[in-house]
Amino acid sequence: MPVGTHGAVKAMTPEQVRSTGSEVVLGNTYHLALRPGEGLVEKLGGLHSFMRWDGPILTDSGGFQVFSLPNKEISDRGVRFRNEVDGSAIDLTPERSIEIQNALGADIIMAFDECTPHPADESLARTGVRRTLSWLDRCASAHRRADEQALFGIVQGSVYPKLRANCAEAIVALDLPGYAIGGVSVGEGHDLLCRVTEHAAPLLPENKPRYLMGVGLPHDILAAIGFGIDMFDCVIPTRYARSATLFTSRGRIRLTHRRYRRDAYPIDSSCDCYACAGGFSRAYIHHLFAANEILSAILASIHNVRFYQRLVADARAAILSHDFEAFRSDFLEAYGPAPKPGS
């Protein structure tokens, strides 16, 4: 699911996003509440009308963004922090998060949770689970559009299997429309992400969506699909695109490197995106980045988002043909090894 933090996927029009095969896009509760404000979005017809996207939209709770802010105050009631726009004090509680998301009108909304940082000792992670479960109950009670918006709960518990299991058991008991695994992709690296996901995913119902939040790179996604994950979001495809990092079937390339100055090939000859199939060469896109032309980010973003959509579509087809393990092995052999933490 491409991320549209402020109600727009960066450097892409809605039609360009749709052309990549994307069906669901994300909006960010925290940022949209700050600017332009959920009241204005609601008055103008809701987020679908506001951003001109006629497909499903998922809004996160704002928890991840708030917990990454400096000088926040966390209590059982919620989180107090400073408005990054005007400096005023803001209280974000489970009830307030749901109120904002109800007004925005997304199809899938996320419960307000405490996103435990990494590394975290077991005591801190246990507190995070306790608050996450308490806040989920408050989110469910505050939800006023349950017939229109699917509320997903989030499993926390850091790297501690027992905490993850306890959290999952309590959340599944609420019989929600879908479930997410949070608190990963926060600096723990590929191997630890896999260990947490492999443990947590089977704890969630097979007949409801399983969503791994904030993930990730191709190696992460293919591993998580193997564990039973259905949904992913990440800023990586468009963020990397804006810095000229492009994903190909043979691994990542950096188009600002001078080796591409005279390269007449497309970004990826196996890709059917507008940038590749449209005849734009690596040399041309290299030139666009060197000249600081906006079209560089547009073409690179279209390609990267399409790469990810092709990846998951191919994985889905392989699952249906009972050939996923062979597909994953072949893809990773061509793509190359997983990057080391921090790279």
* 77, HSE (Cβ side, Cα atoms, 13 Å): 6
Amino acid making up residue 267: I
Q: Which of 113, 220, 233, 268 is catalytic?
A: 233
* Distance between CA atoms of residues 193 and 190, nearest Å: 5
113 is catalytic: no
Instruction: Check residue 185 and report its DSSP letter.
Output: S
Q: Which residues contact 254 (CB under 8 A, 6 or more apart)?
A: 244, 245, 246
Measured CA to CA, the distance from residue 140 to residue 120 in angstroms comes to 28
Q: Is residue 164 a contact partner of residue 148, using CB atoms and an 8 Å limit?
A: no
Q: How far apart are CA 59 and CA 51, in angstroms?
A: 13
User: Side by side, which strands form the sheet with 89-92?
Assistant: 73-74, 79-82, 89-92
Q: Which pair of structure tokens corresponds to residue 287? A: 């030139």
Q: Which residue among the candidates 60, 113, 230, 268 is catalytic per the annotation?
A: 60
User: Is 60 among the catalytic positions?
Assistant: yes
Residue numbers annotated as active site: 60, 233
